[in-house]
A and B are shown apart, each in its own frame.
Chain A
């Protein structure tokens, strides 16, 4: 009886991965650059975090270039510098975002309290100690304002995108241009427009709906442009297949194109919401701020997270400023949750449930 030869064993490896030597080299350059930046800051009049960062970046790139130039020649050195430069630019871009998140957390988490979500401010002042009163009125207000803005802007935005990609009428170019230009409209201008067009001549009072109208003006370009990009990604094969089966253009768009783009259109909607959730200026002009829960969009001023934050900072005591940071933290969490939802829905593959 013969014994079977042992099966050749193989472990999955990555021969192309960086070796310990490579990693040690990178770490060495890193440490050397840090040392140089400390030495330079100590020895010269240059001061501050910015000086450290700038000298660190410059010396890292120089050392990296020289080492690679000596070892592997000019093309490899240029490649290494390019990679280091791009990585550093990413670090520069991310730093303020991280800094904002960290600052908001450090200053805001003292103000976090369950009563934030269960109480409003109708019997408390912004200057009261933190556990008294809460954010409920502002969360309800922001929710209603954004909901109404969404109800107004999502159909308009998506239909505009359908005009631009499906109907492609005579006015496609000017409308496309206008939509792009509109996405640059400052929020205060949208607020003033509704103020002049509706509040002054008609209602003469603050209410939530006017705020929603202004937010809708800001939301429409975001929704329209994102939807346009999404609809452009739908292969024209599908449109042709729909029409070739004897459907009218409207039925083909409604039954084939829009369902195929569904997850992308949801993303467009959520990006629009995230765009306006933190808008302050038009709300201060049009909806005012209130410490009481208000469910009526058409009567009386209405609280919202941005106006709560604004008023708390305005009050200027340590308690009110803690409240303001807690409000920012809550608003930021809401926006981050919305963005995450948008990404998750957008990444879902078309056709899979």
Chain B
């Protein structure tokens, strides 16, 4: 990330990022949503979203509350079905294969598409080290060298130097920002291809937010990242692509997607322009 751009304009921040151009990868890799709809009971909350996520990119989903962003990313690793009244339609292709096809092992999908939640949620009964390695135990994966993996994940999450002397203490004693980075390390330990982040910084102070944004930038070369955020500065700072979601009282829809630079400097849709310029939302 180019930190020399000392501008407050969103377009300026977005322009300072180096973009991975779309279309450079053959279709059938990465994550593709095709006509995704979602319901909770009778309520249609998300309508017909089609969106591609290229490997090694960061995509930000922005839009006002209640527009279906969080619901949408929860359909991408099949966490949506965790809610009893939930229903969905459409396809989500991971490396060209529909994750909702009959016979798909849902636990394998969630291993490949990891998730970081809005509120830091380290496991309270486990130590820091156990938290990071929890995914291996949960999914019954074997690794050669746990210590290396532990250090690698904490390093990539930007937490290693802060916790390396107290790996066997409980995660609850960490600050909120450290807990969230612990959760990122935990998600990385199972080596996901895609990392979904649902407003990962909304409960954090600016310093912790900055650390997590740095973490995202470091990760984006190896992991495809999809981040829901209410902070448009954040979207401009960390993402390559931005998708704008909006609900006009009915189900949420994706209004526009493009490179972050375009969305913030010359959006095609009037509603996107109103939102990114702060006229509503």
Considering the complex, which residues of chain B in the window 130-177 have a beta carbon less than 8 Å from any beta carbon of chain A?
A: 134-135, 137-140, 170-172
| B interface bracket (residues with beta carbon within 8 Å of A) | 20 to 34
Q: Are A244 and B110 interface neighbours, CB within 8 A?
A: yes
Encode contact with B along A251-277: 1 for CB under 8 Å, 0 otherwise.
110011001101000000000000000
Considering the complex, which residues of chain B in the window 80-136 have a beta carbon less than 8 Å from any beta carbon of chain A?
A: 82, 84, 107-108, 110-111, 114-115, 117, 119, 121, 123-126, 134-135
**B31 beta carbon closer than 8 Å to chain A:** no
How far apart are the CA atoms of A251 and B107 in the complex, in Å?
A: 11
Centre residue among B126, B135, B138, B186 by max chain A CB count within 10 A: B138
Contacts of B111 in A (CB 8 A): 245-246
**B77 beta carbon closer than 8 Å to chain A:** yes
Q: Are A246 and B117 interface neighbours, CB within 8 A?
A: no
Q: Are B123 and A256 interface neighbours, CB within 8 A?
A: yes
Q: Are A241 and B190 interface neighbours, CB within 8 A?
A: no
Contacts of B183 in A (CB 8 A): 241
Chain B residue nearest in CB terms to A239: B82
**A237 beta carbon closer than 8 Å to chain B:** yes
**A240 beta carbon closer than 8 Å to chain B:** yes
**A67 beta carbon closer than 8 Å to chain B:** no
Chain A residue nearest in CB terms to B108: A246
State the Cβ distance, B77 to closest chain A Cβ, in Å.
Answer: 7
Q: Are A243 and B123 interface neighbours, CB within 8 A?
A: no
Chain B residue nearest in CB terms to A256: B123
Contacts of B79 in A (CB 8 A): 240, 243-244
**B246 beta carbon closer than 8 Å to chain A:** no
State the Cβ distance, B157 to closest chain A Cβ, in Å.
Answer: 14
Q: Are A241 and B121 interface neighbours, CB within 8 A?
A: yes
**A346 beta carbon closer than 8 Å to chain B:** no
- Given A241-B121, A260-B124: A246 in contact with B138 (beta carbons within 8 A): yes
Q: Are B121 and A238 interface neighbours, CB within 8 A?
A: yes
Encode contact with A along B50-89: 1 for CB under 8 Å, 0 otherwise.
0000000000000000000000000001010010100000
Q: Are A247 and B138 interface neighbours, CB within 8 A?
A: yes
Centre residue among B79, B84, B121, B139 by max chain A CB count within 10 A: B121
Contacts of A260 in B (CB 8 A): 123-125
Centre residue among B124, B140, B172, B183 by max chain A CB count within 10 A: B124
Q: Are B125 and A245 interface neighbours, CB within 8 A?
A: no
| A interface bracket (residues with beta carbon within 8 Å of B) | 20 to 34
Chain B residue nearest in CB terms to A237: B121
Chain A residue nearest in CB terms to B122: A241
- Given A243-B82, A245-B187: A238 in contact with B107 (beta carbons within 8 A): no
Give which listed residue, A246, A259, A352, A353, contacts B135 with CB less than 8 A. Answer: A246
Q: Are A245 and B170 interface neighbours, CB within 8 A?
A: no
Chain B residue nearest in CB terms to A241: B121
Contacts of B124 in A (CB 8 A): 238, 260, 350-351
Q: Are A245 and B82 interface neighbours, CB within 8 A?
A: no
Contacts of A256 in B (CB 8 A): 123, 125, 134, 138
- Given A168-B84, A237-B119, A256-B123: A244 in contact with B139 (beta carbons within 8 A): no
How far apart are the CA atoms of A248 and B134 in the complex, in Å?
A: 13
Q: Are A262 and B125 interface neighbours, CB within 8 A?
A: yes
How far apart are the CA atoms of A178 and B115 in the complex, in Å?
A: 38
Q: Are A240 and B82 interface neighbours, CB within 8 A?
A: yes
Contacts of A248 in B (CB 8 A): 107
Contacts of A45 in B (CB 8 A): none
Contacts of B114 in A (CB 8 A): 244-245
Q: Are B123 and A241 interface neighbours, CB within 8 A?
A: yes
Contacts of A352 in B (CB 8 A): 170, 172
Q: Are B117 and A241 interface neighbours, CB within 8 A?
A: yes
Q: Are A235 and B121 interface neighbours, CB within 8 A?
A: yes
Contacts of A255 in B (CB 8 A): 134, 137-138
State the Cβ distance, A83 to closest chain B Cβ, in Å.
Answer: 38
How far apart are the CA atoms of A260 and B139 in the complex, in Å?
A: 19
Q: Are A243 and B125 interface neighbours, CB within 8 A?
A: no
29 A-B residue pairs with Cβ-Cβ distance under 8 Å, sorted by A, are A235-B121, A237-B117, A238-B121, A238-B124, A239-B82, A241-B123, A241-B186, A242-B134, A242-B138, A243-B79, A244-B79, A244-B115, A245-B111, A245-B114, A245-B138, A245-B187, A245-B190, A246-B110, A246-B111, A246-B138, A247-B135, A247-B139, A251-B137, A251-B138, A256-B125, A259-B125, A260-B124, A350-B124, A351-B125
Residues of chain B touching chain A, judged by Cβ–Cβ distance below 8 Å, are 77, 79, 82, 84, 107-108, 110-111, 114-115, 117, 119, 121, 123-126, 134-135, 137-140, 170-172, 183, 186-187, 190
In the A-B complex, list the 3 residue pairs whose CB atoms are closest, starting with the nearest.
Answer: A247-B138, A259-B125, A246-B111
